[in-house]
Amino acid sequence: MPSRDCRGGVIFSPYKGIIVNVSVEQLGPCKKLLRVEIAADKVNAIFDEVTGQFQKAVQLPGFRPGKAPKHLITRSHEPRIVEEARKKVVDDAFRTAVQQEKLRVVVTLDVEEQQFGRNQSAQFTATVEVEPEFELPNYKGLAVRRELAVATDSDVERALGILREQNASYNDVERPLQDGDVAMISYSGTTDGKALTEIAPTAVGLTKKENTWVLIKEGSFLPGFTEPLVGSVKGDKRTVTVTLPADFVHPELSGLTVVYEVDVLGVKEKLLPEVNDEFAKQFGATDVATLMVGIRRDLQREYDMRQKRSIRDQMLKQLLAQVECELPESVVASETKSIVYNIVNENQQRGVSKEAVDGKRDEIFRNATDTAKERVKAAFILGRIAATEGLRVEDRELTQRVLQLAQQNNVTPDKMVKMIQEKNAVGEIRQDILTGKVLDFIEMNSKIEDVAPLPVSNPAPEA
């Protein structure tokens, strides 16, 4: 869901008695231009109010606090008084105009002053984006399928195998390479005598690498690359020819035949750890039996989370299919930017080179934009359902979420509160809680059919 609160629903407490004249111009499906005018007597009243506040707060030489005449206060602090009055006039008038026109403002893009001063009307324009108009979709009685999954003994054994693989040791051996070994190699590749980077500049890692590890296993690195290395020993040189698949990650190289010159620098044998109590203690368990219980619990938790995600995805898909509407461009752009940032960051953490990411920039942006549009539209739909059903976030729910976040991040609640305030994330947390409540409400009112799960690969449990 978008990080901002996209429900709009502005609630204001405008300056008492302020009256504005408003005209609204449609600039786009979700964009409007407000022309706002405030009468001169109302502007003067706000000037008087602000001046009175200064009179109470400041002290001039020769006068007791709060007793200096207004004309002297005005003379001494005119720039600040004008600035405070301007801010109050614009803020109060804008809020009144939005209420008066019944606008559900999502973003204020720009406010431009046209005229402001004492003894004259104030005039300004505001460019805003508002919630899209759409008919509330049918959100009760949605038909969804719930996959029932229970962690079995074979699931637990498979997950245990993954833990062993993750904690394998690699010992140098003086023998020929076998399947399952790890080869230390250096390589360089060409096609028709040309380095791959001459065809695909971002394919640096595919063209040449020094002192790298490759698992001797079918399909490892590139199809057909590791099989010819079986039987080689430290110091050998091998020529390996591979044909890149038609759907290769670098389209320019798809289907090409590549010749690699490979130097075998060493052979390492992979040794899996024995499953015993010492192994179990690495994961915080007292013995193997306790470790197995923990693995089963973690797998079941993952299955349950996957089940809930599936149900929510099905509900959202049905809701999105019922609504066609334009979306505020700036909200979509902001969400797209956030998604792109996360994608790039995740790729960097996985070790994907900057060149490889840059090579897919257009594809990443295109996919991120599509995802952003779905998320923003879903946020508006869920926000409208929340308003219709009177769903809201209570202070106790916000407090409980903060306590959960503090526990998850292993910090004190006070420090967590400070972190949230520094990131200005209170609204985001409230929106996340509200989204969960709306989805829970829709799920409670759905028609759920229990079905057997499809076969899936099991993730490793958290240590």
CATH for 77: 3.30.70.1050
Is 382 part of a structural domain of the chain?
A: yes
Look at phi and psi of residue 300 and say left if phi exceeds 0, alpha if psi is from -120 to 50, else beta. Answer: alpha
Same domain, 218 and 283: no
**In this structure, are residues 386 and 1 in contact, taking their beta carbons and an 8 Å threshold?**
no
CATH for 313: 1.10.3120.10
Q: Which of 271, 297, 313 is the last residue of a domain?
A: 271
Which pLDDT value is given to residue 163?
95
* Helix, strand, coil fractions of the chain, as percent rounded to 5: 45, 20, 35
Q: Which residues contact 452 (CB under 8 A, 6 or more apart)?
A: 147, 148
- By the 8 A CB rule, do 121 and 43 touch? yes
* Predicted local distance difference test score (pLDDT) of residue 331: 95
pLDDT score at 75: 86
In this structure, is residue 57 part of a structural domain? yes
Q: Are residues 93 and 69 in the same domain?
A: yes
Residue 460 in any domain: the answer is no
For residues 203 and 299, membership in a common domain is answered with no
3 domain-assigned: no
In 3-state terms, what secondary structure has residue 92?
Answer: helix
Q: How far apart are CA 353 and CA 335, in angstroms?
A: 24
* Residues 302, 255 within the same domain: no
Number of domains, the chain? 3
267 lies in the same domain as 283: no
Phi, psi of 91 (to 5 degrees): -60, -50
pLDDT in tens, the chain (463 residues): 333 333 333 333 344 456 789 999 999 999 999 999 999 999 999 999 999 988 888 878 888 777 888 888 888 889 999 999 999 999 999 999 999 999 999 999 999 999 999 999 999 999 999 999 999 999 999 999 999 899 999 999 999 999 999 999 999 999 999 999 999 999 999 999 999 999 988 888 899 999 999 999 988 889 999 999 999 999 999 999 999 999 888 888 999 999 999 999 999 999 999 999 999 999 999 999 999 999 999 999 999 999 999 999 999 999 999 999 999 999 999 999 999 999 998 888 877 777 778 878 899 999 999 999 999 999 999 999 999 999 999 999 999 999 999 999 999 999 999 999 999 999 999 999 999 999 999 999 999 999 987 655 444 433 3
Instruction: Answer with the one of 100, 130, 160 that is the final residue of a domain.
Output: 130
Within a domain: 151 = no
Q: Per the domain annotation, does 122 fall within a domain? A: yes
* Domain identity same for 123 and 202: no
CA 87 vs CA 43, 83, 92, 117, 129: distances in Å: 11, 6, 8, 12, 21
Domain identity same for 188 and 101? no
pLDDT reported for residue 69:
85
Task: Give residue 249's pLDDT.
Answer: 81
Q: Is 89 a member of any domain?
A: yes
Same domain for 57 and 184? no
H runs (alpha helix) in 323-425: 329-349, 354-359, 361-389, 395-408, 413-422
pLDDT at 10: 31
The answer to whether residues 213 and 283 belong to one domain is no
- Among residues 223, 251, 271, the one where a domain terminates is 271
As beta bridge partners, residue 191 has 194
Range of the domain at 417: 279-451
| 289 and 418 belong to one structural domain | yes
> pLDDT value at position 454?
61
Same domain, 78 and 195: no
Residues 99 and 26 in one domain: yes
329 found inside a domain: yes
Structure tokens at 250: 């670098």
